[in-house]
């Protein structure tokens, strides 16, 4: 099959960084052709599709290579690249980056402070963030570390309807901590 020639526009010889086939790179015998607006033009040979694209001054881009026959879009290569970048940017914007929020208690934290910090932890979990609860022991308080472990168990129990344990209770020097992550099933059930 030789080079295709058209009177209106020569084939695009620009190198592209897309992982799609463009113009002469399309090696299927027959293709389904779609215009810029997404309307199906029909099934034709790759040669006819390329001629059709060049007559309109546009490129032929294979957008669905695994379809039978492969789907090719008649569009300007630069415009197609721009649309892809715009779509990727929108997808990144819609993704939520999960953060680790830390809540610190002291060994002698009062009931009111405990409930206040637990409410904040609940808000963090409902927003989709992980929560690390830490109890810091100062001086001789480390002798009564079981009180801290009991407080963390109460914390876990207070949030068990919206969270699951990501990292169990553990001692690190003078700090006792636990990490909770949002429970997707429980959050889904609450929204329904």
Where are the domains positioned within the chain?
23-92, 100-191
Q: What is the mean pLDDT of each run of 10 residues along the chain (192 residues)?
A: 49 61 84 86 88 87 86 87 87 77 88 92 90 90 84 91 89 89 74 58
Pick the CATH number of 23-92 from 3.30.565.10, 3.10.20.30, 3.10.20.80, 3.40.50.300: 3.10.20.80
Identify the CATH number of the domain defined by range 100-191.
3.30.110.10
Token pair 């068990």 is found at: 160
What integer pLDDT is reported at residue 24 of this predicted model?
80
User: How do strand 30-34 and strand 130-136 relate by DSSP bridges?
Assistant: unpaired
**What digits encode the pLDDT tens for the residues 97-108?**
778 899 999 888
Confidence (pLDDT) at 118: 93
Q: Give me the pLDDT at residue 6, please.
A: 46
Please give the pLDDT value at position 1.
46
Q: What is the pTM of this model?
A: 0.51
């Amino acid at each position: 099959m030789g080079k295709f020639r058209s009177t209106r526009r020569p084939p695009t010889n620009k190198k592209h960084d897309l992982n799609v086939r463009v113009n002469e790179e399309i090696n299927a015998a027959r293709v389904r052709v779609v215009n810029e607006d997404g309307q199906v033009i029909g099934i034709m040979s790759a040669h006819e599709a390329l001629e059709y694209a060049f007559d309109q001054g546009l490129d032929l881009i294979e957008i669905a290579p695994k379809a039978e026959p492969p789907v090719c879009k008649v569009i300007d290569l630069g415009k197609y690249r721009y649309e892809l970048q715009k779509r990727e940017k929108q997808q990144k914007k819609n993704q939520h980056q999960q953060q680790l929020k830390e809540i610190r208690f002291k060994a002698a934290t009062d009931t009111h402070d405990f409930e206040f910090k637990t409410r904040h932890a609940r808000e963090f979990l409902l927003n989709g963030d992980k929560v690390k609860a830490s109890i810091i022991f100062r001086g001789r308080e480390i002798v009564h570390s079981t009180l801290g472990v009991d407080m963390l168990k109460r914390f876990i129990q207070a949030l068990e309807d919206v969270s699951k344990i990501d990292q169990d209770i553990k001692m690190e020097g003078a700090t006792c901590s636990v990490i909770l992550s949002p429970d997707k099933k429980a959050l889904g059930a609450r929204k329904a």
